[in-house]
Amino acid sequence: MPRAGEQGRWAWIGMFMAELCFGLYWILTQSCRFKVVYHYPFKERLSYRYKDQLPSVDIFVCTADPKMEPPTLVINTIFSVMSYNYPPEKLSIYLSDDGASELTFYALLEASSFSKHWIPFCKKFNIQPRSPSAYFAQQIDVQDITYGLEWLAMKKLYKEMEDRIDSVVEMGKIPKETRDRHKGFLEWNSKVTKQDHPSIVQIIIDGRDKSVMDIDGGRLPTLVYMAREKRPQWSHNFKAGAMNALIRVSSEISNAPFILNLDCDMYANDADTIHEALCFFMDDERGHEISFVQYPQNYDNIMTNDIYGCSFSVPSNIEFAGLDGYGAAPYCGTGCFHRRESLCGKTHSKDYKGEWNVKAKQNADRTIDELEKESKVLTNCIYEKDTQWGNKMGLIYGCTSEDVVTGLAIQCRGWKSIHHNPNRKAFLGVAPTTLDAALVQHKRWSEGLFQIFFSKYCPFIYGLGKIKLGAQMAYSIYLLFAPTSIPTLYYVIVPPLCLLHGISLFPQVKSLWFLPIAYVFVARNACGIAEALSCGDTLIAWWNSQRMWVFRRTTSYLFGFIDVVRWQLGLSKTTFTITTKLNIEDVLKRYEQEIIEFGSSTIVFTIIASLALLHLFSLIGGITKIVLELEFKSLEQLILQVILNLLLVMINIPVYQALFIRRDNGRLPSSILFKSFVLATLACLMPII
Ligand SMILES: O=c1ccn([C@@H]2O[C@H](COP(=O)(O)OP(=O)(O)O[C@H]3O[C@H](CO)[C@@H](O)[C@H](O)[C@H]3O)[C@@H](O)[C@H]2O)c(=O)[nH]1
Ligand SMILES: [Mn+2]
């Protein structure tokens, strides 16, 4: 430690604080590695045992914007869940459309017709996956001639439907002849905008009606379209609001005891998942205390080396399984089966037996019109006024990570949850394909999660005595993503600057203190690599994830942190930026080649580029200084800083390429080069105290 008055004393003290933060944070990360639990349900046995006693299941799909979430994507998710291997009369599928778009409604109508062909086809040949676009995208080897013929016919039928939808979406409005075909379009006769419209509920397929059949005479699942009322003066609470409206509408129509919740891009990849999830709820010993079964978020568009670190394989394979060990697997918003009662606010009590076999609502005597009319009332803005919805009932409002806070609240009411990660992935979604989208998504997450830490739901306070200490700690790993940005920023700025000025911050090679720091560095990274490899990542994917951690912590988490502080001071309101699921061809091509997409000139990229240049300048400057002044003694003192700086420069190689070499549209624009050059130079001139 530099003595009082010596240059670099305060820099050293700052480093010490940053390292202290990392150390404490590391302790938190250990909490979910003590009791990792994996489950192996025997799903085939469920039907043997319960035969026709299986409970009904409601499936909720949320969509919010026909541009960012194309209607064909949405209906592919719908097809995949309509064709689950589960008695169709026990399934009800609800689509919530926060975009209130007649295009999405139209696509759903088309889907209801096509499903009459698709469902029997899936079941007849037992195909997987049951999202048509994913299914037709895979190579198949047809030996059976009837299968081959039907495959061709089905593909043609699907393509025709897709073309019809795409052309309507392109036109942006529904042709008159189509509008006349279904009464549902009347809902769009008055002025309907995304932010301002009355409730819309349309039962497109009524599963109670035995005369509605697929082409092979099989029953069909209920299919419902819902767009809750929106008014500019009422806050709609984003996805949480949509989910709560879905809970109420479904309780009116089918009221199944179990609910599967999906984002519109997450198609079901395994046709037997319902059986599997029910095994947990219907287990004789533990079933009655289980509130939800969460499947990890997996994506079908991740490339081998996962450039944006989206696969999150270590958290979903190890950390969440570790939280499961405490009975506190987190709810992640999609791919999750809920018990309706616990989601609606019930507290778990010792004598609760788990009443899953209550007969679901039959509604035999009510017409579709009556059901629609009554459901609409439930989705009006005014309905939730002065109720516990968004607080003690349903999903919790006021936070963009509504999922995590809701899961935590459920666990604090005495329920347990399961994290289940089967070999065949249960759900596959669309991961962001540009750096900007990936960072914006993490900004929303880190912000929402940090809000929870600051609210009354802080796990250490709210969870005190209700969930295990280990679970409280493990939750905090994620809730504290945002503040980790501060020590990280310090660590990537100050040591390089000190190297440039020839100030030593780390122990010398000969010093005994060199050993612990070298040990921590090697051991920490070796563990990280071992965990990543054991979860199926490649070595390059691990390296890419290190880069993404640096990018996220210096940009997304920093902005998340700042916004939570502003929110605490009452200076800002929370917003939910939807992740786009649409891909431009040019961008997609680069994504497939694993080239990072920068492309725009936002402040995020200015920060990334400035830091990268700062690292480059410091490394070059620092080494020049060591060599020119021929002070090899100083090399001994500075070696750790040289290594750290070298690692940072290596991590930033794609940034230099995007600044200086690349010529495609995904490179960093020259305005960014200029700004970051000025900023990095200014930083280098800053005096170190
Ligand atoms: O006002 C809104 C905003 C979003 N959504 C839906 O919410 C889902 C998730 O949105 P997305 O933009 O895809 O965000 P992701 O970051 O991919 O979502 C993850 O993180 C969210 C919390 O930040 C969770 O709600 C999600 O379930 C989880 O998958 C999508 O189906 C949207 O259609 C709505 O229904 N209404
Ligand atoms: Mn998503």
The percentage of residues in the chain with a pLDDT greater than 70, rounded to a whole number, is 98
CB distance 69 to ligand 1 below 6 Å: yes
Q: How far apart are the first and last CA of the chain?
A: 13
Q: Does pTM top 0.80 for this prediction? A: yes
pLDDT class for 680, splitting at 50, 70, 90? very high
Instruction: Find the ligand nearest to 70 CA.
Output: 1
Mean pLDDT, the chain, whole residue set = 94
Q: How far is the CA of 545 from the centre of ligand 2 (A)?
A: 19
CB distance 445 to ligand 1 below 6 Å: yes
CB distance 261 to ligand 1 below 6 Å: no
User: Which tens digits make up the pLDDT trace of 72-120?
Assistant: 999 999 999 999 999 999 999 999 999 999 999 999 999 999 999 999 9
CB distance 447 to ligand 1 below 6 Å: no
- Average pLDDT of span 607-635: 89
CA-proximal residue: ligand 1, atom 30 (nearest): 263
CA-proximal residue: ligand 1, atom 13 (nearest): 579
Residue 263, annotated as binding a ligand: yes
CB distance 71 to ligand 1 below 6 Å: no
pLDDT greater than 70 at residue 489: yes
- Average pLDDT of span 484-495: 96
User: How far apart are alpha carbons 665 and 655 in whole angstroms?
Assistant: 14
pLDDT class for 190, splitting at 50, 70, 90? confident
Question: In this predicted structure, what is the pLDDT of residue 4?
Answer: 83
CB distance 537 to ligand 1 below 6 Å: no
pLDDT greater than 70 at residue 135: yes
Closest among 76, 363, 359, 394 to 228, alpha carbons compared: 394
Residue 239, annotated as binding a ligand: yes
Active site residue 403: yes
pLDDT greater than 90 at residue 427: yes
pLDDT class for 618, splitting at 50, 70, 90? very high
Mutate to test the pocket of ligand 1, among 60, 62, 76 (most ligand atoms within 8 A of CB): 62
- Confirm if 329 and 223 have CB atoms less than 8 A apart: no
Closest among 448, 468, 672 to 561, alpha carbons compared: 448
- Average pLDDT of span 122-138: 95
Closest atom, ligand 1, to C-alpha of 441 = 16
Q: Out of 98, 206, 265, 272, which one is annotated catalytic?
A: 98
CB distance 63 to ligand 1 below 6 Å: yes
- Average pLDDT of span 609-613: 97
Active site residue 141: no
Question: In this predicted structure, what is the pLDDT of residue 632?
Answer: 66
Q: How far is the CA of 447 from the centre of ligand 1 (A)?
A: 14
HSE of 562, CA atoms in CB hemisphere, 13 A: 7
Buried-state track 433-457, b at ≥16 Cβ within 10 A, e below 16: bbbbbbbbbbbbbbbbbbbbbeeeb
Longest dimension (CA), the chain: 93
Question: In this predicted structure, what is the pLDDT of residue 142?
Answer: 77
- Confirm if 245 and 379 have CB atoms less than 8 A apart: yes
Q: How far is the CA of 567 from the centre of ligand 1 (A)?
A: 21
CA-proximal residue: ligand 1, atom 4 (nearest): 239
Please give the ipTM for the structure prediction.
Answer: 0.98
User: Which tens digits make up the pLDDT trace of 313-371?
Assistant: 999 999 999 999 999 999 999 999 999 999 999 999 988 887 765 555 667 788 999 99
Closest atom, ligand 1, to C-alpha of 432 = 17
CA-proximal residue: ligand 1, atom 1 (nearest): 238
Residue 636, annotated as binding a ligand: no
- Average pLDDT of span 568-587: 86
Q: Out of 206, 306, 403, 537, which one is annotated catalytic?
A: 403
How many C-beta atoms lie closer than 10 Å to residue 318's C-beta? 17
CA-proximal residue: ligand 1, atom 2 (nearest): 238
What are the chain's domains? Answer: 9-25+486-685 (no CATH), 44-297+332-431 (3.90.550.10)
pLDDT greater than 80 at residue 634: no
Q: How far is the CA of 431 from the centre of ligand 1 (A)?
A: 12
- Average pLDDT of span 142-150: 88
- Average pLDDT of span 550-566: 96
- Average pLDDT of span 655-673: 94
CA-proximal residue: ligand 1, atom 36 (nearest): 239
Question: In this predicted structure, what is the pLDDT of residue 541?
Answer: 97
